[in-house]
Amino acid sequence: MQVALESLILREPEVVAMVRLSPATIRRRVQDGSFPAPVRLGPKAKGWRRDDLVDWVGQLTTTQIA
């Protein structure tokens, strides 16, 4: 069974829509270790593993969402 790579890697606009955080907040949280780090796709491209984001959302508590 083949899975489309596009469904496994999300680009920044898709991540913003999924987690409802601004790009600046995502960058800040990546830097402090409280958000999954992106993977390099090329010299100027990065993306996030969908599974990492799903796991991160699943680990949130109601106090962390606020």
- pLDDT number for residue 49: 96
| CB environment 14-47: b (16+ within 10 A), e (fewer) | ebeeebeeeeeebeebeeeeebbebeeeeeeeeb
- pLDDT number for residue 60: 86
> What residues of the chain score a pLDDT lower than 70?
1-7, 61-66
What is the pTM for the complete model shown? Answer: 0.79
- pLDDT number for residue 24: 98
- pLDDT number for residue 18: 94
